[in-house]
Amino acid sequence: MATPNDSSRSLVGLVIVSHSRALARAAVALASEMLHDRPVRMALAAGLDELTLGTDALRVKEAIEEVDSPEGVVVLMDLGSAVLSAELALDLLGDPAVRERVVLSAAPLVEGLVVAAVAAAGGASRAEVAAEAHGALMGKAAHLSAPQDIPRGADEKADRVAVFAVANVHGLHARPAARLVSEMRGLDAHVELRNLTTGAGPVPASSLSRVATLAALQGHRVEIAASGPQAGEAIDHLLALAARHFDEPPDTPPALPVTQNAGPLPASPGIAIGPSRRLSFADQAVERAPASDPVAEWRRVVEAMADVRREIERIRAVAARQAGPQEARIFDAHLLLLGDSEVLADVKQRIRSGASATTAWLDSLAVVEKQWSELPDPYLRARAEDVRAVGAQMLAALTGAPSAMMTGPGILIAKELTPAQAADLDRDTVRGIVLAYGSPSSHAAILARSRGIPALVAAGPGVLSLVEGTTVIIDGSTGELIVDPPEAILTRFAHRAAEIAEQEARQRAAATAPAVTLDGTPIEVAANVGSPDDANTAAAAGADSAGLVRTEFLFLNRDQAPDIEEQVAEYVAIADALCGQRITLRTLDVGGDKPLTYLHMPVEENPFLGHRGIRLCLDRQDLLLDQLQAICQVARKAPTSVMFPMVSTVAELRAARGLLTEAAGPEGTPEGLHVGMMVEVPAAALKIATFLPYLDFISIGTNDLTQYTLAAERGNAAVAALSDPLDPGVLRLIDHVCQAAADRIPVAVCGEAAADPIAIPVLVGLGVRELSVSPRSVPSVKARVRALDLALCTSLACAALVLDDATSVRQLVTSSERRRTRASTLD
C-alpha cells in the first residue's frame, strides 16, 4: 500500500513497520489528516496478514522500494522485532545506492509519523524528516515530566524486580521459553532474568538462546528485572504467564505404547522389513568455502533466513492442523531461534571478521548448541535438537544440501515429512516410512507412492519412542505395523514380500499392452508426472499418456518465474519422453499451501479455501498468459491438452479460455489442443452441465473433491480416516459428472483414488474411462482393469451410491471379489 500518487516522488518517502496492519493503517490515516492534500508517499509493512501480528523483512524491503526516490526514505517502527525486520530489510536491498538513502528512525510510531509526514510534505530532507520525527515526544515530555525526571539508561538499576517459581513439568524448555521471549519482545522494556536457585544469569529475556541457558527447572525461582517505559507491564505480564504455565498444559501425557495394529493407516502399498531409523540433521562438517565480500556474505544469511522462515511458518501451519496448537508451538521456538538478536549479532560479527556465511552460521550455532547440550537437566539438554533443526534448515538454504538424512538403511520413523524432505529421501536407504501424523492423501504420502516406498501414516506419537534399530515390519497396503516381531512372523512377511515382488514383475512385463476389461471396454491408464524424469519413468512403465503434468515443478523453489522458452523446452522434453502420447498440462496450481517466493502472497488462515489455482492465475494474468503461450507452442509440435485447476464458476472458465485465445495469437488455437478442467470443488461437480459447452474433457481430482465434500482437510491426521474418496457423498458427485458428460466428453480421475484397487471397479462402473496415476502404479492399475467385468462394476457402483459410508463401500467391493474368487475356484 503506497499513497498517494506519483507527484510525490521528489519528496522523502515514509515506511511504516508495525506488528499490526490495522494500527499502521490508522496511523497513516491520522498523519494524512495533517497533510491537507499535500502528497507524501507512505507504504505499509505491517502484520503478516490482516489478522496475524508480526513483521516480515521481505515486505519491509518491498515497501522501501515502493516509496524510494533520490530524496530517500525514512522508516518508522513500532517495537521489538519490527526493528530487526527493518535492519534485515536493509541487508536485502540489492542496490547499495538505495540502502544509503534509507534512515531507520527511533521515533515513536504514531507521533513520529505525524511529524515526519508534515516535514516530508514541506520538502524537508531525509535527515531533517528523521530529526523531526525523533523529537516528536519532546512537547509531551516537557509538559508531563517533572524537573527531576531523567531517563534511566539500560545499565542503571532496574525500575522493577519480581520473582516467580517455574511450575512447568519440564521447566523453561523450548516451548514455554519461546512463549516468554515472544511476549517480552512486544514490550518497550529492557528485561533480564536470573535463576536464583542456581545463580545462572542474568540473561536478556528477548533472546531464546540465552533464556534456555538458565536451565530453569520445575520449582526453580527466577528473578525478573525490568527497566524502561513499560517495565511494569513487562513484570505483570511475565508473572501472569508464569502463573498459567506459559500457556503449556501442566501435565504432558505419556507417549502411547506401540502395539501391533495400533491404528496406522495404509499410505503406500508394499511390505518393508528393517531396523527403525530417524532423520539426522545435516552434517555440521560441511565444506567451509572461503568468504567473499562481507556485505555479500551477510546478504546470503539474510536471504537464507527469509527462505527458512517461510518454510517454518508453512510447517507450523501444517502441524497446527494435524497435531494441534500445543505441538505446533515448537515451531514458534524455531522462529525465535532463527531471528535471535544475540545469535544474529554474533553471526554478523564473525562475517565482519572475515568468515563466510556458512562458517559464521555454523560456529555461532555451535556455541548455542554447546550451551544447551551442557545443561544439567536431561530434558532441557535434549532441546539442543531444536538448535540443530534450525541450523540444518539454514545450512540447506545456504548450501543447497539436504537439511536432514537417514541415520542408516531401514524404516524411517518421523513425526511428519515435508514434501521437500520426502522428495530428497534416498530410495536405496529408505525401505519404508512410518509417520506419527499425516494422512494417506498428504503430499508426503503421495510422494512415497510415486517413488514406490511402502508407507504408513497416522501411527500416533507412540512410534516416536521406538529405540533406534528396533526391527519393524510394515504393510503399506493393509496398515499393519509390527514392532520387534518373532522369527515366525518375520518369515511369513518375507514370503509375502517375495510374492508381491513376483506379481509386480509379471505386471511390469505386461504393462505396455492396453488395459481392456473382460468384456472389451478399453480404459486409458495415464500417468501423473512432474518432470521429464517422471515422464521417462511413465513411458518405461507403459503409461498410455500423461494424464496430469504438474507444471508447478517449474515455478517453485526459484527466485523468478520461468520464461516462455524454458517452459517450452521442459514441456517438449516431457512430450518427447512419451514418444507421441498425449500430454495434459495443468496450468499453474499454486497458492495457499504452495507459495511462490517471488509473489507477495499473504498467509491465509485456510489456504485450501483461499487464493489458489485458477483464482490466483486470473489475478496474475502475466503468469498465465506466458504459460498458455508456451502450451500453444508445444501443441503445435505434439499431442497436447491444457487443463485448468480449481475451477468453481463458469466465469472463471470463460476467462481462462479468453486468455488462451489471446495467447494463441494470430495463428489461432492449435488444432488438436484439447481444453479441460479439474473438477475438485463440489459446486463445479453439481453444475457440471453448465461447463460442458466449453470443454473437451473433464478430470476429477478426488483428493481435493473429497476434502471439500467431507470438510476433512486431507493432511490432517485427526480426520484422515474420514477423508476417503469412496464415501457415497463423493461417489454421487462423480456419478453426477459422469452422467452429465456421458456420450459427450470423456471423464478421467487423476486423484489418488485412481490407483486404489478397491476404488477402481467403482470408478469404472460410474463411467470413468481414464485413470491417471503415479508412474510406478501404471502396471498394477492396468492389471486390475484387465480383471474387471463392466456389468459387475456398474452393479457395484449403483449399490455403493446408497450405502452409509466409505467403510461399507469397501466391504461391498471386497465381498464381491471374494465371491468371484470362490466361484472361479469351484468352476
Dump pLDDT digits (tens) for 645-672. 999 999 999 999 999 999 988 888 899 9
- Could you give the percent of the chain with pLDDT greater than 70? 74
Residue 673: its pLDDT value, please? 94
How far apart, in whole angstroms, are the C-alpha atoms of residue 634 and residue 361?
Answer: 45
Nearest to 543 by CA among 698, 775, 785: 775
Query: Following CA atoms 184, 190, 193, 199 in sequence, which dihedral angle do they give, to the nearest 10 degrees?
Result: 170
Q: Choose the weakest-confidence range: 232-236, 248-252, 468-472, 545-549.
A: 248-252
**Where is pLDDT greater, at 597 or 632?**
632
Mean pLDDT of the region 71-99: 79
Residue 612: its pLDDT value, please? 72
Residue 323: its pLDDT value, please? 43
> Residue 435: what residue type?
L
Q: Choose the weakest-confidence range: 159-168, 242-251, 510-519, 769-778.
A: 242-251
CATH architecture of 160-247: 2-Layer Sandwich (3.30)
CB 264 within 8 A of CB 434: yes
User: Which of 355-369, 446-460, 683-697 has the highest average model confidence (pLDDT)?
Assistant: 683-697
Mean pLDDT of the region 601-625: 71
* b/e 451-468 (16+ beta carbons within 10 angstroms → b): bbbbbbbbbbbbbbebee
Question: What confidence category does residue 246 fall into, taking pLDDT thresholds of 50, 70 and 90?
Answer: confident
Residue 383: its pLDDT value, please? 54
Mean pLDDT of the region 243-254: 60
Catalytic residue among 443, 736, 738, 793: 443
CB 362 within 8 A of CB 282: no
Whether 750 is a known active-site residue: answer yes
For the record, the C-alpha cell of 25 comes out as 493503517
How far apart, in whole angstroms, are the C-alpha atoms of residue 631 and residue 673?
Answer: 9
Q: 3-state DSSP call for residue 714? A: coil
CB 469 within 8 A of CB 276: yes
How far apart, in whole angstroms, are the C-alpha atoms of residue 144 and residue 146?
Answer: 7
| Bridge pairing between strands 73-77 and 221-227 | unpaired
Who contacts 188 (Cβ-Cβ below 8 Å, separation ≥6)?
Answer: 79, 228, 229, 230
Who contacts 75 (Cβ-Cβ below 8 Å, separation ≥6)?
Answer: 14, 15, 17, 60, 64, 86, 89, 102, 103, 104, 105
Catalytic residue among 632, 738, 750, 793: 750
User: Which of 293-307, 617-631, 707-721 has the highest average model confidence (pLDDT)?
Assistant: 617-631
How far apart, in whole angstroms, are the C-alpha atoms of residue 565 and residue 547?
Answer: 23
Q: Choose the weakest-confidence range: 261-270, 512-521, 776-785.
A: 261-270
pLDDT single digits (tens) 186-233: 566 777 888 888 777 787 777 666 676 677 777 788 888 878 777 777
pLDDT single digits (tens) 524-564: 999 998 888 889 989 999 999 999 998 887 877 666 788 89
Who contacts 307 (Cβ-Cβ below 8 Å, separation ≥6)?
Answer: 397, 597
CB 683 within 8 A of CB 647: no
- Could you give the percent of the chain with pLDDT greater than 90? 23
Question: What confidence category does residue 801 fall into, taking pLDDT thresholds of 50, 70 and 90?
Answer: very high
Q: Which residue has the cell 491465509?
A: 604
Question: What confidence category does residue 265 fall into, taking pLDDT thresholds of 50, 70 and 90?
Answer: confident
Mean pLDDT of the region 566-574: 92
Report the Cα 728 to chain-centroid distance in Å: 31
How far apart, in whole angstroms, are the C-alpha atoms of residue 444 and residue 461?
Answer: 17
Question: What confidence category does residue 611 fall into, taking pLDDT thresholds of 50, 70 and 90?
Answer: low
**Where is pLDDT greater, at 309 or 807?**
807
Residue 257: its pLDDT value, please? 35
pLDDT single digits (tens) 101-145: 888 887 788 877 877 887 787 777 888 777 777 766 655 554 454
Who contacts 157 (Cβ-Cβ below 8 Å, separation ≥6)?
Answer: 227
H-helix or E-strand containing 447?
Answer: helix 443-450
Average pLDDT, whole number, for the chain? Answer: 78
Question: What confidence category does residue 7 fall into, taking pLDDT thresholds of 50, 70 and 90?
Answer: very low
| Bridge pairing between strands 697-700 and 160-165 | unpaired
Residue 339: its pLDDT value, please? 66
Residue 559: its pLDDT value, please? 67
Q: Which residue has the cell 519404508?
A: 432
User: What residues does each domain of the chain span?
Assistant: 2-144, 160-247, 265-281+406-506, 294-401, 517-826
Residue 256: its pLDDT value, please? 33
Strands (E), 361-504: 404-406, 410-414, 430-435, 455-457, 471-475, 480-483
Nearest to 517 by CA among 796, 797, 820, 786: 786
For the record, the C-alpha cell of 516 comes out as 481392456
CATH architecture of 2-144: 3-Layer(aba) Sandwich (3.40)
Residue 727: its pLDDT value, please? 92
**Where is pLDDT greater, at 312 or 13?**
13
**Homologous superfamily in CATH for domain 517-826:** Phosphoenolpyruvate-binding domains (3.20.20.60)
| 630 CB burial (10 A radius; 0-12, 13-18, 19+) | buried
**Homologous superfamily in CATH for domain 294-401:** PtsI, HPr-binding domain (1.10.274.10)
Topology classification of domain 265-281+406-506: Glucose Oxidase; domain 1 (3.50.30)
